């Protein structure tokens, strides 16, 4: 063992499991530790503090350990300013760049701690030329000459601590198994929607076309009309199916009321797109009275912003669809700062995409009939997500009903 | 090519796909055919008739082809009486025994066609000593000396033909994908329950404990109280969870209303069993007022017969549980003849077990959150089952609501 | 009942189930039929012929029935030329347009039957101005003034017939359940790859990043190096993970050999992209020796064409990625005509996208650990696909081994 | 707040997360705490010690909190002897009985700590009449008059602590996602098998019939022949399919080598059972040369004990099958004490049943193509299980290969 360094941790580090993760990581990586100072918060509102000396098997190992501990909220005792290096070219990351988490982050520059704006996972931190502000920047936006933060020193993150109060709906990730009581879970989600609005934050829906297939178009449209959802992230499919259903009563040619395939109904999908093409946009189709109900109609009527991102399996697509994936990502990012809660329903692609752009403190509920969608979302870093194994066709009517019941009280 | 034989087919053999399966099977097995006679039913109510000469690559191959065609409803033109052989010992099947399908079956004996009673898949046909009656007999019941039908000659089966009328809910198997409209599917199931009762037949529930975990205990109990379900097939888990829920408000220690784990709640499971042990049986617990609500309570109150079959993962079990698998199978078989419809909810083991005992003309609806349960059930021979990918906690309240809506009209 | 029309059908219409589907559809839709003529193919190589009079409940119903029968291969007896209508604007489909299947299709024009090129499902048929050729055209490419085929008359399709010979690997869709013998299935896939090449056709891989996560990068790269795969359709993730693995030994920061997370390994993903950004393209990275192994390396070395289509969840992306979904679709379509077989491994998005562009006669094998991916692919119209429930990490090494074993013989 | 009590904890309570769980549980349940003493283990081999004063909202709440903390390894500072109450009747549990975990457990009696034998989850602790020994006793074995431990005082458990060394294959539960490298995972499992034998412990297989369907019969039989597996827990299906395959080359009538259904092959299942019936038992069938290969053959040849537990979906069953579920459970329990590792392959029912009987320190690996089997197993309390999403047909040949590779070195 050659070298060693001191790190410090504070906050509710025992009951949030942070201290455990720190010590585990050191042992997992082959390092050793000595706890130099440990003052435990005696009561539930007191915070604890630890100072730990870390030893690695060699300097490389020590760096690796420090880097891992950083992601658990540890910081070096001897904090200096961050190191900055200009990017050598557009979209070329400098060696040793600091890769963001989705936790609240600060950097030290000119001996002051400044807040990193627009935090989002797997980005770089770019500092403004005057060194007064810093911003999480995805690789695709990195410009030659941008000042990029290198390494972990001078960077401080705040991993989520468990709440001090005995809350109804624990804000913590994990799949709610298909064996839990459905109505109870949905009532909690309904309360969170109402609470998010009380805090002045917005609720976004990330939705897939199964919302329409499974017969939940009307319940979902009501959620927009009644102001429960404020932003829509979706693809060409959700919008087209919604418009098809509201123009022709079918979704991919199936009559949603009777469950039967309508003859020549498979063309309705293209007719729906065509009607919007002729009008010029969804907004114009609503304004000229062509489209008079449904999810997209309610979005237009209530000026709910929507981002329809294209994908390679799209038919059409609708004129409102952004076919370039990078442009669509940027458009989604515009709305992230105002969001307090996201409902992700029956779409893996869009859920992961939106999840990637969200800070860790945004309440994220993901509903899918397939448990593996939920697992993948969390594996991809949206670890704060609460997964519910359920069916959109049952979920939306039950959620709307619970919202109405709560509002009546 | 050496030998050849003539078979004949009649009925709606084109539009039920029977003719297709016959010709396909011959080609698949390396045989050849010549259609000797074919009279097509010109109108939708007319039946067709075909006489086909089959050639095999050798006599063994020809026998194999004839055996396969038999299962599609073909019969040899030169029909003789069935061959009978006495079983050499208990539970020892004779070589070449006829293995039943779950289709209506007749055998020819003394130049008369007699109906095979208690038809069930993968059984033997045992003829009474006076040769006046025949019965499908599972291997476990075969006694030394029983007269067993050998080979396919003299046996005639009637595979399901598609109905001639334009029905609401097609009686044909297949998984209803999670992308179909949930409410529409459930409304059709509700109508079938009502129609089954109108025909004077019974509706059975095969249920797993997820009915209680997911919060559907009350809706399910109402189904029994209001007479929508007439027979219950389940295991120790469903009954214990139901009793635990109705005695203590928990299921495996979780409070179903709040979704929270109750402290020491994991013991409630054993307490529930213990209360019934002390009373002596579920019936006595109801009669002495210990158990006053729930699925099992309603079964006792309405004299709904129930079979609780034990399994190796049981705790307890309850005194009403039949721990011997073979005894439990027999008990289930007692009720099969009166059943017109089966709802299988969230239990693979019991669904396959009941499915094995059902004739093909019993309407079978299987609901599970996991599509692979549905696939396995059909793979195991219950090909008439209609699979619905849904969640018990959402399914029962929606089904009860649909039943009430239909009854109101 | 008001009006009626005659249709005719020929081919192996009984044993391919076509006659069954035709009669079923008429009954399902409330119509009636009279079989006017029926000549059955007496032997296995003979084709059958049927002429059927269809009656609908009214003219609309009759049209609907005829339209459905058309998709089963029926044609009106009184065939006229197709009707053509010019498109009123870009991407606006004319009312009543003919929507293509993915079956081989001909249209009648100037009393001649001409073949429709580039057949693909859910397209329009656009006839050249000189009326000598016709092409399946996706909605996104429809130009104002294009001559579009309206209705089904004058259009003839050829649904797949089952093969006359006793084949090893039945060319027909359906999920091969997880309960079938793994090695046997893989050996059949290996044979199909070799047979496809013998026919002078190409084998394409549609692959997801799980190929690398599950440790199959080397086996998959060998498939390209040894010439078993000729075209690659994938996204940013597969290429980036492959490059990350080959540069750093990790995939999303996990060491594939040891299964452990490498410290700071999460950055390797962005470093990999950055290395390619600096080089300018994957080709340049190979040429300058930066990238010396792996799937993308073998593609460059063997001049295997690849299409990397962007999606909204991409990091980076690599400079080779086509971020506009519509441009990527076109690029994929360029390669479709030469493809005889497609392997779709562990990616739902790209599989459905490629499936949408494939004619029905392209052998399509889809491998995924999740049976619902397979079901969705088939629901979306790629009904010829053979689904295998397996794991990429086990599948590729076993497939390569089977290919080597066959080649050795 | 009314009453309060002191608990103490020691061991690696920080880095095993025990301290975190204790404080979390107090807050979750609405209680409060004061840490009276906390001495942290400064180095990795040092243990920590905490003494905590717990306050509840009332006495009931305090009891509930103490009861929950007990399950995390806490004990009351003022330890007294356990309270004992005689059971009022067979299978009737006394109020307030202590319900076991699957962790190593001690009870205090006559001022001494004695070890509880045969520990298994959800049992009662029954003390011998002489109070010298204690045994975990399932409810089904509780006899009138048995001395049952009541409440948590005087009971001490030892929850698993993470290992101090940097191990290859972390002994901790959790599903290994389908996105992890397959070969790497399997190599680790192979090493554990070898290590378990080195420790003088046995390896048990809990197997389902998919082992045979998916073509792994031979690889699995080799595992027994070469001594890698020492005990077999299965049902009628695995044994019957194995015997059918080894007598007739089929499994449920499908030829495993070619993947094709064999004509009349569905009868082979019953013939296989019948052959064993005639011989009298599997052992006699092996001894008389009727059965000459396969899993059951190897078990007989090597005197590997097997327990075949019946279920209600069984055909036959084989004469070796124990049809009474309670008798089968007992038989399984006989072998548990010698087991160091369990492989659970493709069977949910038997896996949960065996899992229920295992102490927490038995290495448990569960392999299933369906991730929900793995989740359910852990939900049912076998939280130490390591889940691998894979296919038996690919798993066994790869595992055998890895075992051979390791042995060669």
Report the half-sphere exposure of D45 (CA within 13 A, side-chain side): 1
Q: Which residue has the higher pLDDT, A171 or C33?
A: C33
Question: What is the pLDDT at residue A78?
Answer: 74
B285 touches chain D (CB under 8 A): no
Chains in contact with C via at least 3 Cβ–Cβ pairs below 8 Å: A, B, D
Residue B72, pLDDT score: 85
Q: What is the rounded CA–CA span in Å between residue B365 and residue A242?
A: 30
Average pLDDT per run of 10 along chain D, which is 409 residues long? 82 84 85 90 87 90 87 84 94 92 92 93 95 95 95 86 50 56 86 95 96 93 98 97 94 76 78 94 97 98 97 93 96 95 94 93 90 80 82 90 91
Q: Could D389 and C369 be called an inter-chain contact, meaning their C-beta atoms sit closer than 8 Å?
A: yes
Output the six-digit token pair for B162.
């598609």
The answer to whether C23 contacts B15, with C-beta atoms less than 8 Å apart, is yes
Burial of A125 (0-12, 13-18, 19+ CB in 10 A): buried
Cα gap D271→B97, rounded to integer Å:
9
- In angstroms, the CA B121 to CA D269 distance is 13
For the segment A73-81, the average pLDDT, to the nearest whole number, is 85
Q: Reduce the DSSP state of residue C95 to 3 states and report it.
A: coil
Mean pLDDT of chain C: 88
Pair B250, B364 in one domain? yes
Q: What is the pLDDT of residues A291-311, one digit of tens each?
A: 999 999 999 999 999 999 999
Q: Determine whether the interchain pair B67/D97 forms a contact, defined as Cβ–Cβ distance below 8 Å.
A: no
B309 and B245 together in one domain: yes
Please name the residue of chain D whose CA is at the shortest distance from the CA of residue A372. Answer: D371
3-state secondary structure chain A: CCCEEEEEEEECCCCCCHHHHHHHHHHHCCCEEEEEEEECCCCCCCCEEEEEEEECCCHHHHHHHHHHHHCCCCEECCCCCCEEEECCECCECCCCECCCCCCCEEEEECCEEEEEECCCCCCEEEECCCCCCEEEECHHHCCCCCEEEECCCCEEECCCCCCCCCCCCCCCCEEECCCCCHHHHHHHHHHHHHHHHHCCCEEEEEECCHHHHCCCHHHHHHHHHCCCCCEEEEEHHHHHHHHHHHHHCEECCEECCCCCECCCHHHHHHHHHHHHHHHCCHHHHHHCCCCCCCHHHHHHHCCCCEEEECCCCCCCCCCCCECEHHHHHHHHHHHHHHEEEEEEECCHHHHHHHHHHCCCCCEEEEEECCHHHHHHHHHCCCCCCEEEECCHHHHHHHHHHHHHHHHHC
* Residue of B182, B262, B399 to mutate for A, most A C-beta atoms under 10 A: B182
Is A2 in contact with A145 (CB distance < 8 Å)? no
**Same structural domain, D85 and D216:** no
Q: Could you tell me if C406 lies within 8 Å of chain B, comparing CB atoms?
A: no
Residue, of A163 and C383, whose pLDDT is higher: C383
pLDDT greater at residue C180 or residue D188: D188
CA distance D93 to chain B (A): 6
Place of tokens 């003529």: C37
Average pLDDT (A379-391) is: 81
Nearest to D54 by CA among D65, D38, D42, D64: D65
Domain that includes residue D401, residue range: 168-408
Give the C-alpha separation, C349 to D230, whole Å.
45
Least confident of B222-231, C287-296, C376-385: C376-385
The rounded Cα D345 to chain-centroid distance in angstroms is 13
Domain shared by B220 and B128, yes or no: no
Structure tokens at B214: 């997911």
pLDDT of residue B161: 66
Q: Do A145 and A53 belong to one domain?
A: no
Q: Are B190 and B40 in contact (CB under 8 A)?
A: no
Report whether pLDDT(A206) > 70.
yes
A309 chain-C contacts, CB cut-off 8 A: 312
pLDDT tier at A149 (50, 70, 90 boundaries)?
very high
Say yes or no: C362 and C376 in one domain: yes
Which ranges of B226-339 would DSSP assign to H, the alpha helix? Answer: 236-248, 268-279, 282-287, 295-301, 325-335
Cβ(B308)–Cβ(B327) under 8 Å? no
Are B242 and B314 members of one domain? yes
Are C105 and C74 in the same domain? no
For chain A, give the percent of residues with pLDDT over 90: 59
This model of the complex carries an ipTM of 0.87
Residues in chain B where the model's pLDDT stays below 50:
1, 164-173
Range in A163-177, B7-21, B51-65, C178-192 with the lowest mean pLDDT: A163-177
Which pLDDT band holds residue A375 (cuts at 50, 70, 90)? confident
Higher pLDDT, B181 or A267: A267
Q: Where does the pLDDT of residue C16 fall: very low under 50, low under 70, confident under 90, or very high at 90 and above? A: confident
Mean pLDDT (whole number) for C88-103: 91
How far is the C-alpha of D43 from the C-alpha of B39, rounded, in Å? Answer: 91
* Average pLDDT of the residues in A48-72: 89
Asked if A106 reaches chain C (Cβ–Cβ under 8 Å), the answer is no
Which of D62, D78, D94 is the endpoint of a domain? D78
Q: What is the DSSP letter of B92?
A: B
- Which one, of C358, C409, C322, lies nearest residue C160 by Cα? C358
Strands C254-255 and C250-251: antiparallel
- Rounded CA-CA distance B110/C364 in Å is 54
| Best CA proximity match to B407, nearest among B191, B204, B182 | B191
Whether residues D238 and D316 share a domain: the answer is yes
**Higher per-residue confidence, A388 vs B149:** B149
Whether residue C233 sits in one domain with residue C357: yes
- CATH number of D288's domain: 3.40.50.10690
Last residue of a domain, one of D59, D78, D97: D78
Residue C240: pLDDT band by 50, 70, 90 thresholds?
Answer: very high
Sign of CA pseudo-dihedral A166, A171, A177, A180 = positive
Q: Return d(Cα A150, Cα A154) in angstroms, integer.
A: 10
- Residue in B138, B269, B350 nearest the CB of D312: B350
What burial class does residue A60 get, using C-beta atoms within 10 Å of its C-beta: 0-12 exposed, 13-18 middle, 19+ buried?
A: exposed
Mutation site for C-interface testing, chosen from A139, A312, A313, A374 by largest number of C Cβ within 10 Å:
A312
Answer for the pair B155, B82: CB distance below 8 angstroms, yes or no. yes
Residues 331-390 (A) with a CB less than 8 A from some CB of B: 369-370, 389-390
Structure tokens at C398: 């076993």
Average pLDDT over residues C380-407: 87
Q: How many separate domains does chain D show?
A: 3
- Please give the pLDDT value at position D59: 84
pLDDT class for C2, splitting at 50, 70, 90? low
Contact predicate D385/D128, CB 8 Å: no
Tokens of B84: 């009978």
What is the dihedral sign for C-alpha D296, D299, D302, D307?
A: negative
Where is the domain boundary, A78, A104, A122?
Answer: A78
Chain A positions touching C64 (Cβ under 8 A) are 263-264
Tokens coding D62: 């305090």
Residue C222: pLDDT band (50, 70, 90) is very high
CATH of the domain at C104: 2.40.420.10
Same domain for A178 and A244? yes
Edge-to-edge strands, sheet with B306-309: B174-176, B386-389, B363-368, B339-345, B202-207, B231-235, B306-309
What proportion of chain A, given as a percentage, has pLDDT over 70?
93
- Neighbouring chains of B at 3+ CB pairs within 8 Å? A, C, D
Region C250-267: mean pLDDT is 76
Q: Both tokens of residue A329?
A: 């990502």
* Average pLDDT rounded to a whole number, residues A330-353: 95
Q: Which two tokens stand for residue C117?
A: 């090129």
Q: Are residues D351 and D207 in the same domain?
A: yes
Size of interface A-D (CB pairs under 8 A): 86
Closest Cα in chain A to C273: A92
Write out pLDDT tens, residues C146-176. Answer: 999 998 889 988 877 655 444 444 444 455 5
Whether the link from the prior residue into C408 is cis, omega within 30° of 0, is no
């Amino acid at each position: 063992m050659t070298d060693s360094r001191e790190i410090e941790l504070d906050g509710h580090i025992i009951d949030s499991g942070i201290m455990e993760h720190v010590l585990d990581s050191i042992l997992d990586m082959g390092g050793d530790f000595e706890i130099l100072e440990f003052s435990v918060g005696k009561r539930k509102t007191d915070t604890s503090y630890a100072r730990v000396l870390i030893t690695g098997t060699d300097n490389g190992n020590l760096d690796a350990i420090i880097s891992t501990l950083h992601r658990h909220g540890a910081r070096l005792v001897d904090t200096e300013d961050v190191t900055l290096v200009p990017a050598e070219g557009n979209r070329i990351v400098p060696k040793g760049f600091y890769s963001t988490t989705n936790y609240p982050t600060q950097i030290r520059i000119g001996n002051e701690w400044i807040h990193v704006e627009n935090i989002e996972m797997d980005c770089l931190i770019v500092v403004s030329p005057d060194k007064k502000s810093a911003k999480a920047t995805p690789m695709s936006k990195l410009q030659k000459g941008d000042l990029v933060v290198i390494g972990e020193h001078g960077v401080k993150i705040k991993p989520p601590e468990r709440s001090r109060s005995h809350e109804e709906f624990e804000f913590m990730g994990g799949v709610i198994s298909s064996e839990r009581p459905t109505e109870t879970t949905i009532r909690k989600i309904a309360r969170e929607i109402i609470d998010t609005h009380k805090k002045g934050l917005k609720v976004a829906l990330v939705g897939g076309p199964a919302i329409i297939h499974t017969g939940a178009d009307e319940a979902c449209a009501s959620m927009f009309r009644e102001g429960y959802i404020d932003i829509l992230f979706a693809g060409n499919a959700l919008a087209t199916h919604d418009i098809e259903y509201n123009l022709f009563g079918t979704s991919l040619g199936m009559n949603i009321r009777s469950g039967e395939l309508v003859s020549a109904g498979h063309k309705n999908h293209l007719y729906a797109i065509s009607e919007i093409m002729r009008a010029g946009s969804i907004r114009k189709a609503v304004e000229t009275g062509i489209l008079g109900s449904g999810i997209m109609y309610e979005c237009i009527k209530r000026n709910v912003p929507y981002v329809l991102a294209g994908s390679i399996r799209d038919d059409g697509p609708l004129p409102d669809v952004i076919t370039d994936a990078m442009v669509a990502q940027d458009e989604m990012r515009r709305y992230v700062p105002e969001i307090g809660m996201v409902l992700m329903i029956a779409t893996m692609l869009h859920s992961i995409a939106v999840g990637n752009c969200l800070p860790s403190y945004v309440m994220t509920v993901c509903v899918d009939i397939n448990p593996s969608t939920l697992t993948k979302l969390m594996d991809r870093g949206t670890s704060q997500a609460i997964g519910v194994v359920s069916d959109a066709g049952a979920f939306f009517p039950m959620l709307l009903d619970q919202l109405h019941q709560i509002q009546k009280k």
